[in-house]
Structure 1
Amino acid sequence: MATIKDVARRAQVSTSTVSHVLNKTRFVSPEITLRVEQAIDELHYAPSALARSLKSNETRTLGMLVTSSANPFFAEVVQGVEQRCFELGYSLALCNTRGDKARLNASMEMLLQKRVDGIILMCTQVDLGANVFDRYPSVPLVLADWGPMDMEADLIQDGGRLGGRLATEHLLGLGHRHIGCITGPRGKRAADERRAGFEAAMARAGLTVRPEWVIEGDFELAGGNSAMTALLALPERPTAVFVGNDMMAMGALRALADAGVSVPEQMSLVGYDNIELTHYLVPALTSVEQPKAGMGALAVDTLLARIKTPDCPRRVLTLTPELIVRDSCQALT
């Protein structure tokens, strides 16, 4: 493997001149610059990222802790993070926590050992308790929507209350008055905010939320399936349901199909997140759009701003959701 000394010898210059050409730290004549660049190409020389990081005290690598990158919602956010890192010349070290605190702590330790410049946290663990973050309070950190609210870190959050209200008002506008809700796990900010939006829209319409029509899910396919099965087993069922995320909505669609209940003719359904799959479902799912790639890019930009200005006040940035109307709802006749 070629070294900087080999490049200098081939270009007939000093190693410091090669360094100036690589890092653009001093003017070097076009003729010498060309010789150095030709030598680099001929020798296939690649500067040592480790050496650069030791000299500059930065690795140009960001870490990201995510509950599960296999979940389509998280995957689309991760794509936004990766794209923004690529555009800015950064690498991304991605770790899946699987909802396990011990795995989160171990991943955090690993990222710190690799000397990442900062970390994006997108995990469902709200109460982390004593954890590795307490031992490294100076690590630049950004919470991307799913994370504890009491941490001293910048926060990028979904406007869940507005999104839940938009979904419910859409159903109300179609004439539905018997509306149920499949929520995410209680105590998780995303789930609680979306449920609060649902309840606010119902209250504004002068309607009472029926407790038996509000079923707690787990943000996963199976949770949505079992929650809808429970709703269908009731003596009286709602004519429309707002589901707290698209994964549960897909599970709910399966339960409705298994029960022979047609959507939207016999029940209207609205999801949340607007993951790519919603467009390909039958029927295509009406859903509340979160700008997922935008959230990922904003997380990177916010983290880099925190790295550059570590003493600035905590930032809380709220994204604006939008309702995407498709085929899973219809006016009540």
Structure 2
Amino acid sequence: MNYQPNTAARALRYGKNFSIGILFASLRDRIYAELMGCLQRSLAARGYTCIFAFWENETEMEQAYRVVQQHGVDGIITCDYRPEWLNGNTPVVAYGKYDSIDSIYINYESAWEEAANYLRGLGHRRIGYIGLLNRDRHKVYMAIIKKLGLAHDPSWVFAGDGYPESGVAGMRQLMKLKKGPTAILCHNDSVAMAAMATAMQNGFNVAKDFSFIGFDNILEAAHCYPALTTFDTHLAAKSELMVDTVLKRIENPDTEQVAVSLKPKFIIRDSCDKPKGE
């Protein structure tokens, strides 16, 4: 016979529900979909269930928080939060860099500097960017361009989001420029792959005419054409860290705040080459 534990009895015995709220932005961001699977497996191995809630905008973000709270979760793992969430007794661990709570985050500074140095080594001097402008990746891009003494033009930056549509729109803008970037850093792999497809559909050669670097190393990145140069963000390891952190916070609410920085691994594939004619 398959034994099924009585969750209500276990909750009464231990004083907790053995459930964690997982609050993230839209699963249209492919890396979040992969991350959810890792978090679920990691929590299940520790005897916990997941209560998932997602959002597309600010209003839905608050609704998502209320949903997991109504389920009486013992802790929350999220990619963003509101200060008022910290007023209760539910521990919150963030995927991202935050000052007020436990956080597991990616070191974008080291990644973009490695990417820019790689492109400069190939001969690129005009490096553009497609993606969110209010996130760390764009801020770091600007700082690295300045640090390395590379050329910069505001028209080489396209303000979008982390979805494929931004890759399409951004590439359409950059292709129109008389003297645009020869290499493009993209907010994530989904944006990069959409930008590459748009370039090819318009007769350009990826790597020869434009070099592309993505971020996250989603499953499709190795299998698109050409295979995408990107950064692996240690999906399984950061999932384990987030789970370990929130469970330790549940057991010991007064422990010292945790901030763990992970350096992504540069994965060189086929989407970059020397700039044509330079």
Question: What TM-score does the superposition give when structure 1 sets the normalisation length?
Answer: 0.77
Q: Determine whether 1:64 maps to 2:22.
A: yes
Q: Determine whether 1:228 maps to 2:186.
A: no
Query: How far apart, in 2, do the equivalents of 1:165 and 1:107 lie?
Result: 36
Query: How far apart, in 2, do the equivalents of 1:293 and 1:96 lie?
Result: 20
- Percentage of pairs with the same residue: 30
Q: Determine whether 1:114 maps to 2:81.
A: no
Q: Determine whether 1:201 maps to 2:130.
A: no
Query: How far apart, in 2, do the equivalents of 1:107 and 1:183 lie?
Result: 25
Within 5 Å, give how 1:131-210 maps onto structure 2: 133=85, 136-145=87-96, 149=98, 152-184=100-132, 186-188=133-135, 193-210=136-153
Q: CA deviation at 1:287?
A: 0.5
Within 5 Å, give how 1:211-290 maps onto structure 2: 211-290=154-233
Contact 1:79–1:293 (CA under 8 A) maintained in structure 2:
no
Query: How far apart, in 2, do the equivalents of 1:70 and 1:221 lie?
Result: 9
Contact 2:130–2:166 (CA under 8 A) maintained in structure 1:
no
Query: How far apart, in 2, do the equivalents of 1:227 and 1:158 lie?
Result: 24
Residue 7 of structure 2: aligned partner: 49
Residue 73 of structure 1: aligned partner: 31
Bigger radius of gyration, 1 or 2?
A: 1
Q: Identify unmatched segments of 5+ residues in structure 1.
A: 1-40
Query: How far apart, in 1, do the equivalents of 2:165 and 2:125 lie?
Result: 27
SS in 2 for 1:272: coil
Runs of at least 4 residues off by over 6 Å: none
Counterpart of 2:49, as a letter, is S
Instruction: Find the partner of 2:258 among 315, 322, 327.
Output: 315
1:303-327 Cα shifts (integer Å, max 9, x gaps): 0111111112221111111210000
SS in 1 for 2:45: helix
- Higher RCO (Cα < 8 Å, 6 or more apart): 2
SS in 2 for 1:181: strand
Q: CA deviation at 1:248?
A: 1.0
Residue 85 of structure 1: aligned partner: 43
Residue 299 of structure 1: aligned partner: 242
Counterpart of 1:106, as a letter, is Q
Q: Identify unmatched segments of 5+ residues in structure 2.
A: none
Query: How far apart, in 2, do the equivalents of 1:176 and 1:107 lie?
Result: 44
Seen in structure 2, the aligned counterparts of structure 1 residues 175 and 121 have a Cα distance that, compared at 3 Å, is same
Query: How far apart, in 1, do the equivalents of 2:210 and 2:67 lie?
Result: 48
Matched positions, count: 276
Contact 2:189–2:216 (CA under 8 A) maintained in structure 1:
yes
Query: How far apart, in 1, do the equivalents of 2:201 and 2:41 lie?
Result: 40
Q: CA deviation at 1:137?
A: 2.8
